[in-house]
């Protein structure tokens, strides 16, 4: 449902962005392009891409909780351009579904490692992780007792 809403394209702009993302995925060796005899292009998942898909299914993605918490907080902040409002809303919804703690509108907290999951979600929603997302670890955080209670720590 999240993906369907995001891929609804009213201007053609999203189609161009998706084409750029497909090329980026090809450069990362996740996709392979093959020209067909009729001139069309067939896009296949590479071996590496198939492994990634097996590892992550967007609707079923979860954050793995280790047996013992390392006492580090993972902070995810984002500033996504207004032109990508749907992507921003989809990211926020997915972070909520992953049961991260929302410290502020675009600041989320997790006690568990989740960078791979965030990267995957950003790839799906065509969010430039290098420009829009900040992910860092810290040992201190505001409202720590409240957040520990939220995560049952």
Q: How far apart are CA 35 and CA 119, in angstroms?
A: 29
In this prediction, residue 33 carries a pLDDT of 83
- Residue whose tokens read 């032109």: 83
Residue among 34, 57, 56, 58 nearest 44 (CA):
34
Q: Examine the pLDDT at 6 and tell me if it is beyond 70.
A: no
pLDDT digits 0-9 by tens, 40-65: 878 887 777 766 665 556 677 788 88
- Picking from 45-49, 72-76, 87-91, 146-150, which range would have the lowest pLDDT averaged per residue? 45-49
Q: Examine the pLDDT at 4 and tell me if it is beyond 80.
A: no
In the predicted model, what is the mean pLDDT of the chain? 82
**70 band by pLDDT with thresholds 50, 70 and 90:** very high
Model confidence, pTM: 0.63
Domain boundaries defined on the chain? 2-59+72-150
Q: Which residues are CB-contacts of 2 (< 8 A; sequence separation ≥ 6)?
A: 58, 59, 90, 93, 94
The structure tokens listed for 69 are 């918490």
Q: Examine the pLDDT at 133 and tell me if it is beyond 60.
A: yes
């Amino acid at each position: 449902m999240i993906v369907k809403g995001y891929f609804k394209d009213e201007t053609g702009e999203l189609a161009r962005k998706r084409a750029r993302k497909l090329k980026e995925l090809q450069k990362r060796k996740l996709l392979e392009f093959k020209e067909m005899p009729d001139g069309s292009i067939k896009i296949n998942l590479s071996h590496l891409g198939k492994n990634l898909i097996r590892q992550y299914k967007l609707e079923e993605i979860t954050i793995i909780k280790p047996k013992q918490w390392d006492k580090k907080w993972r902070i995810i902040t984002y500033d996504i351009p207004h032109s990508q409002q749907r992507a921003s809303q989809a990211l926020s919804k997915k972070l909520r579904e992953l049961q991260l703690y929302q410290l502020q509108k675009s600041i989320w907290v997790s006690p568990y490692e989740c960078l791979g999951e965030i990267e995957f979600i950003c790839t799906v929603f065509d969010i430039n992780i290098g420009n829009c997302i900040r992910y860092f670890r810290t040992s201190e955080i505001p409202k720590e007792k409240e957040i520990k209670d939220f995560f049952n720590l």
